[in-house]
Structures are given as C-alpha cells and as structure tokens.
A = this chain, B = another copy of it.
Amino acid sequence: MTEAAPRPLIGIDGGGTSCRIAVLHDGRRSEVRCGPANVSTDPEAAISTILEGLDDAARAAGLSPEQMARGQAFVGLAGAIDRRETDFVADRMPFDRIAVADDRPAAVIGALAGQDGTVAGLGTGSFMARSRGESLMLIGGWGLALGDEASGAWLGRGLLTRSLHAHDGLLEHSPLTREIMDEFEGPPGVVRFSLRARPGDYGAFAPRIVAAAGAGDAVAQGLMTDGANHLERSVRALGWQEGERLCLIGGLAAPYASVLPEAMARDLHPPQGTALDGALTLAARVGGEVRA
C-alpha cells in the first residue's frame, strides 16, 4: 500500500441516544449505526461503543483494519465541552488523521452543504453558527442551566415557570397554564418535577407549546415570541445580514420558521444534509499532521 492510495473518509455523528458512522471510499458511501456515546458522563463506554461501531463500519465498507486506520476521520460528539473530551477521544481512536469536536460543527456544515450561511440549531438544546469559507463562528449551546434559549427544554421550563406565575397571580392563566397546573395538581407537583427534571423532560412539553401557540394560547405564543427574539438577536450578533442564507435545523425549525420576522424568513433555506454528511465534509478537511 503506497501513500498514493486513496484515504477513506470517516465521519462520526455521536449522540447521547445513538451514533452514526459513515465511510466514503472509492466513491462508495456506507453507513452503520451504533449505541449512545456521551463522552462527558461515561467516556470509557463512549469509546467502546465507537470502536465497535468502527469495526462494523469497516466491514460494511469492505475495508481491512489497516485500510481503515489510514482514513481521515472527523468525530462530532454531544457532551464534548472542551479539549478535555476531544483530546481524550482523539487519543483513543485508531486514526492518525483525526479531528474531534462537539456536535455543532458537523450539523452546521451538513445543513449548509459546505456553503456560506448561518444556522440555528433548535432541538432539546440550542446553538447558532455562521460559516464563511473554512471559518465557523459558534455561539450559545451552553446548556439549559445557563442558556439554550429558544430550545425545546427552554420552552418547556418557561411554560412551567409561567404556570407558577399564573398561579401566583403574576400573569393571566392561559388554557395551557391551567392544563399544566391541573395535571401537576398544583405547585408542589410542579416543584417536585423540577427537582428531578433533565432537559429532555422539559423538552417533552415543546410540542404542546407549539400546538397551543398555533391555537392562539397567549402564554404559548409569548414563549415562542421570546424564543424567536433570542434567535434573531443571536443570528444578528453572528453578523448575519439580509440576503444571506439562513437555515434552521432540529425539531423546532418549522415552528420557529413561521414566527420569524419577515426580513429573516425570506432568507430561509431548508437544510441540505445531515450532521453525518457534515462530518464527512469535515473529514475531508482534516489535515495530514501525524498525532503523537
């Protein structure tokens, strides 16, 4: 095998629910799915899961372990807060050409198919990004305790807070806040829920908020408007300007698209690809420096 032989490209989209691995080699793309990988809560399990997934991926691509190891890999991982996690993963992967990042860059590059533009990720969490050439500017995505404004978890938590405010006489009840207080049988039930709730638990209220906003519920509409305002403020802080491609991704993309100011809605483009597509694109950009 000579240096001139083509290097396979390996893209990994690693999430807390499951991971997907794509291999692009000789113009042929293959994909496998494997288990969850949360590198901040259980790093060793995440590594084992990804290594097993890579074995499957090599088989699916018809590559020997040696051919696979010559690949260029990009790994996007949920829960990779900083270099503590990304270096740990890079060191344990069988590639000498590898880049590891959190899960945002691959999602952005995938959605834009490598073109310039601005992306808002609106799922259980949230983040915003602007891509120009090979530079990527990211903001937000700091988690529900301190951020994730406009996200599903943020909407759900906001609904519970406003339901308590309505109970306390600080604002008018809406049909949805009454429903919530009835379901929880009053504030103590809401408080007990909040003591254990994780972002996904709050995010589970998001579809109801979207539906209620569509039906005219004032509190639900207020939450969506606050989210859209944060979205606009963030996208403008990134430097987005009218006429520039704007792409919303994640489960709340469509609901927010319908409440954005018209000046922004005009520039909306549907996502061109997935985070796995983005990981492959980024794998192609991984430089040739050999890791120690």
Write 27 A-B pairs (CB below 8 A) sorted by A numbering. A81-B188, A82-B188, A84-B188, A139-B168, A139-B169, A139-B170, A140-B168, A142-B164, A142-B187, A142-B190, A142-B191, A142-B194, A143-B191, A143-B194, A143-B195, A145-B157, A145-B197, A146-B157, A146-B161, A146-B190, A146-B191, A146-B194, A147-B161, A168-B234, A168-B237, A169-B238, A170-B233
* Contact across chains for B169 and A237 when beta carbons are under 8 A apart: yes
Q: Does A291 have its Cβ within 8 Å of any Cβ on chain B?
A: no
- On chain A, which size bracket covers the interface? 20 to 34
**Residues of chain B lying within 8 A (CB to CB) of residue A160:** 146
In the complex, whether A192 has a CB less than 8 A from a CB of chain B is yes
Compute how far the CA of A131 lies from the CA of B161 in the bound complex, rounded to whole angstroms: 25
Question: How far, in whole Å, are A40 and B196 apart by their CA atoms in the complex?
Answer: 13
Residues A164 and B147 in contact in the complex (CB < 8 Å), given A139-B169, A139-B170, A170-B234: yes
In the complex, chain B residues whose CB is within 8 Å of the CB of A190 = 142, 146
- Cα distance A168–B195 when bound, in Å? 29
User: Which 8 residue pairs across A and B have the least CB separation, nearest first?
Assistant: A82-B188, A139-B168, A145-B194, A169-B237, A146-B161, A81-B188, A146-B194, A170-B237
So how many copies of this chain end up in the complex?
2
Residues of B within 8 A of A194 (CB): 142-143, 145-146
Interface mask (A212-240 → B, CB under 8 Å = 1, otherwise 0) = 00000000000000000000011001100
In contact, B169 and A81 (Cβ under 8 angstroms): no
Is the beta-carbon distance between A145 and B195 smaller than 8 angstroms?
yes
Residues of chain B lying within 8 A (CB to CB) of residue A195: 40, 143, 145
For A187, the chain B residues whose CB sits under 8 A away are 142
Contact of A191 among B81, B161, B164, B197 (CB under 8 A): B81
Contacts of A81 in B (CB 8 A): 188, 191-192
Residue-by-residue, is A157-176 near B (CB-CB < 8 Å gives 1, otherwise 0)?
A: 10011001000111000000
Contacts of A169 in B (CB 8 A): 139, 237-238
Instruction: Identify 15 new A-B residue pairs, CB closer than 8 A, beyond the known A142-B194, A146-B191.
Output: A40-B195, A81-B188, A82-B188, A139-B170, A140-B168, A142-B187, A142-B191, A143-B191, A143-B194, A145-B195, A146-B194, A147-B161, A147-B164, A168-B237, A169-B237
Residue of B nearest to A189 (CB): B82
Chain B residues, Cβ within 8 Å of A161: 146-147
